[in-house]
Amino acid sequence: MYDAGRDTRGARLAWALEYAGFDVALLRDGWNAWKGEVETVPPQFNPSEFALENPKRELLATVDDIQARDAKTVIVDARNAQEFSGAQLPPGSNRGGHIRGAINLNWEDLETATGIKDDA
């Protein structure tokens, strides 16, 4: 999958789908990096029922996990400085700030105009 915007929604969707058990990959450097064949006809989908039966719980840190972490564990908050500090609420959030002890590494600092920095 890919995200056409400059935000974290594509990565968040990829994480949620992987948590639900789907095999997911993000397209590095976005749509412009795609070299394969492209279909122009919208796909047809049949109705189905989906039940989340075996989520990959190891992809989700609970409050208990965070509180029980050892001193070597680093929590990286990839939001911008305003969201990290609590001065600005991220879209869809009702509370600001960050987890105590987390470090801030803005995701925007990991990319260039043409994609992800090689050393990211």
0.85 surpassed by pTM? no
Name the CATH topology of 61-120: Oxidized Rhodanese; domain 1 (3.40.250)
Question: Would strands 103-104 and 111-112 be described as parallel, antiparallel, or unpaired?
Answer: unpaired
The DSSP H or E segment spanning 82 is: helix 81-85
Residues sharing a CB contact under 8 Å with residue 97, sequence separation 6 or more, in sequence order: 84, 85, 86
Residue 116: its pLDDT value, please?
A: 65
Residues of the chain with CATH 3.40.250.10: 61-120
**Higher per-residue confidence, 7 vs 66:** 66
Tell me: the pLDDT tens digits for 28-59?
666 777 777 888 899 899 998 988 988 999 99
Task: Calculate mean pLDDT across residues 81-101.
Answer: 91
Residue 18: its pLDDT value, please?
A: 94
The structure tokens listed for 48 are 């189905």
